Amino acid sequence: MRIGRWISRLTRISAALLLGLAFVATTAVVGVGAAAAPPALAATSGNARGPSAASDEYNNQYVFWRGATGNNNLWEAYYNVYTGQWNGPLNLGMGPLGSEPTVAVSNQVFAGPGGEPFNAQYVYWQGTNGDLYLAYWEGKWYGPVNLGGVAQDMCSQPGAAALATEDGLKIVIFWQGIGDSGSGDACTNDTSSTEMWYAFSTTDNPTADSDYLGPNLDSYAGIIGSSPSVTSTTEECNIAGFNTCNDLAVIAWQGTDGGLWSEQWNVVSGNVTGPTEDTYAGGLGSPPSASGYVTNTQMDAYDLVWQGSGADHYLWIGHYTNGSYTPVSDLTISGTLGSAPTISDSPDGNSYVYWIGSGSAHDLWLAEWNGSWTVTNLGMGPLA
């Protein structure tokens, strides 16, 4: 059952190692060449990443966003692989949200619509009071849960990813927070004093403050220019003895110079590779979104998407594999994006990119890679 994301990511990890995140810095290799000429570096675009999406091990797709009106509630649309139908928009309540949400899908299995198996979903956001909040699905929705003991004074939408380990479920959460290096004591519009912070779960069912450790400062990232995106990928894995897998958490963000920055956290050794800038990405028009490959055929690999900073604001796509970035390219058939995009790589080998449309309806749009790119308006609006 776990032949996708979860077999490829099983590894040994300890809470003490996570708590330290006492990184050993190494150097990442930047790719060579470019398929298209990205815009030059520009000023940062702000910290909002837009909607959040993820796949589960059965290829169900989940998309979450903050409602545009009323109480700014948590909204969802999901693709039910068993029926082949999109469902939504669904108003889950939980509001008001102080930021767009982010979702981490775990390997826990619960009966969903039609009695079919679905994976648990943990959705996080910044509250209007600056605290971290959680809603979670385990056969039905629960929340909202105030995780203010885990994270306060948040300055952005968080990013989160679920890791399957021999010690059980681990969810890592990163966000932009108030500087701790003497550079400032408040969230600022120019992000000149905001740094990277993180927390992580310590239980198999992290639904309360006591199930997390945080906040902790990521001292390697320094001052960051946007909300971070988090995913995971596997550096190497002996499939015959998958307990030797070497799991990596990938954190990507827009730097204060407008460029694409990322680092990789080796959760086995505690090492960090980076932070490194992908100079071939040029200037970003939005914070990036990252999604790791979830099949066993490509281990140290993940995809990145962002909104272009040029006049067209098309969807831009990058890729990282085996220690280096590959050339980036723009997907002009996306048209002008109305928000930062979010990407979800699925166990079926496809990639799904979602964003808010720029038209007056502010619908949910999808670009799907299945051997070639197709773009579809899913409706669901207004999302903004």
- Least confidently predicted of 189-198, 201-210, 293-302: 293-302
pLDDT tens digit sequence for 36-53: 556 665 444 444 678 999
List the chain domain ranges: 5-379
pLDDT tens digit sequence for 106-132: 989 999 999 999 999 999 999 999 999
d(CA 155, CA 149): 16
Q: Are 293 and 45 in contact (CB under 8 A)?
A: no
pLDDT tens digit sequence for 148-162: 999 988 999 999 998
In this structure, the strands spanning 168-178 and 159-165 are antiparallel
Q: Are 88 and 380 in contact (CB under 8 A)?
A: yes
Torsion of CA 56, 62, 66, 67, to 10 degrees: -160
Q: Are 353 and 342 in contact (CB under 8 A)?
A: yes
> Which own/partner contact pairs does 85-90 have at CB distance under 8 Å and 24+ positions apart?
86/378, 87/113, 88/63, 88/380, 89/364, 89/380
Share of the chain above pLDDT 70, in %: 77
What are the structure tokens assigned to 57, written together? 């091990």
CATH number, domain 5-379, options 2.120.10.70, 2.60.40.10, 3.30.1490.20, 3.50.30.30? 2.120.10.70
